[in-house]
Amino acid sequence: MRNWTAEAVARVTKGSLIGYPNLEVQGCILDSRQARGGEMFFALPGERVDGYDYIEVAWKNGAVLAIVDETRFKRAETKLNVPEGKALLLVKSVFIALQELAQNWRTELKAKVVGVTGSNGKTTTKDMIYAVLAKQFRVYRNKENNNNELGLPLTILNAPPGTEILILEMGMRGLGEIKSLCEIAKPDIGVITNIGTTHLELLLTQERIAQAKWELVEALPNDGIAIINAEDMFSVQKAKEDSHSICFYGIEGAFAKPNIKGIQLRSWGKLGTTFDVNYKDQKMSANLPLPGTHNVLDALAALAVGTVLGVSLDKGCIGLSELELSKMRLEVRQGVLGSVLINDVYNANPVSMQASLEVLKERANGNKTLAILGDMYELGISAESGHREVGRTLAGLGVSWLITVGSLAAEIAQGAQKAGYGEDQVTVTGSHNEAVEKALDLLASWGTGTWVLIKGSRGMRMEEITAKLER
């Protein structure tokens, strides 16, 4: 954001200012430890952590303006003394103030906004879109997956002056949440990677998940463009009912003819993929530093956004080759005892776990393979069937050994064994330490060259297993 004054922030939020009105404010934070100088600190109330208690820390670390709920300020036993060169802004709701300021800066910035959502791959797709668009524009995006009602406005407010395109990942846990994010972001282009079963626990049916995701497309202006996966049945069905311009991307074109198509996928380096891209009368080769068909689809979505915004296909492909991903997604690391680790621990659902297993088997190239898989959360009534489906895929691929971590992941073992996988190829564990101990035994007996996949839902903290197996 540009240099606002504390007084200007007070005007937008209709709050009461205490302290120095002419202070210049740049950047915003929710964590007092992140202050570097000049920021406004949103003192959000919470059940476990109350931002009000950290206002003085934020000021000490360099923040100049603290924004706090008026009622919280009035009921505080110890009143804050605003130091010299600082300001305190009392508002009815810190949460609403954050969103109002983001809306205001979104309007002033006059940037194009690309919204990204989907059941799988939205963070990776966001990073790929950034790589493509950054070849031609000044671009800003969410850090990691700051994609909710706090992270999205925070991202907008921290977008620097001169930003031409904002790429905003949008997460959701229920109906109406993406709609609310779109009221702040006002997207011009909407990308839906796919509509799967993540959040089935909350929304109960895949049709309701589709409805929730489609709120992004419904929020687009009349001349907005939706970028849709031609391989995803629910997305294509929704697109057929929608009046917006649709750009389909795909490989096979299972449910719609792709406007931009990927063909002839082949391995590139240890974990990369080369593929050819067809768009209108153009054909170009792309080198993607990631494996798997699912990642090629995400790359095609990014190239589709690029073409819509005037980035040439060759520039877009160069951008993909220089891709830098958010952490803990299909990272290749050197493991102990000559093993190769695929650290894919950011999150997991049945679709992404099956895709990662395919990557494991493909890239091992005949070497021994070990899958260490943890619980997948938020599957609701599909928890058992979703885990067993992963087990069936693992058995069909012929992965050498399976170690499960957690009670839900034990169902992966059940699914594998019912599909003919040997009982002597499975170890069911309840802790990281058990899993690591068994993995070390296997790696020692198999020798060098074993490929190991570590994956599970974020709450399982599977990266702790990776750390213990890393060389």
Q: Which residues are annotated as a binding site?
A: 118-124
Question: What are the Cα distances from residue 101, in Å, to 44, 95, 442?
Answer: 15, 10, 55
Rounded to 5 degrees, φ, ψ at 331 are: -85, 135
21 neighbors 87 (Cβ within 8 angstroms): yes
- Rounded to whole angstroms, how far apart are CA atoms 356 and 203? 26
Q: How deeply is 45 buried, as exposed, middle or buried, from its count of CB atoms within 10 A (0-12, 13-18, 19+)?
A: middle
Binding-site members for ATP are 118-124
The set of residues, in sequence order, having a beta carbon less than 8 Å from that of 128 and lying 6+ positions away, is 298, 299, 301, 302, 320, 323
Nearest residue to 142 (alpha-carbon basis) of 131, 134, 154: 154
- β strands within 230-375, DSSP E: 245-250, 260-268, 272-279, 282-288, 331-334, 340-343, 369-374
Query: String of b and e for 430-453 (b: at least 16 CB within 10 Å)?
Result: eebeebbebbeebbeebeeebbbb
Q: How deeply is 334 buried, as exposed, middle or buried, from its count of CB atoms within 10 A (0-12, 13-18, 19+)?
A: exposed
Residue with tokens 């907005």: 224
132 neighbors 227 (Cβ within 8 angstroms): no
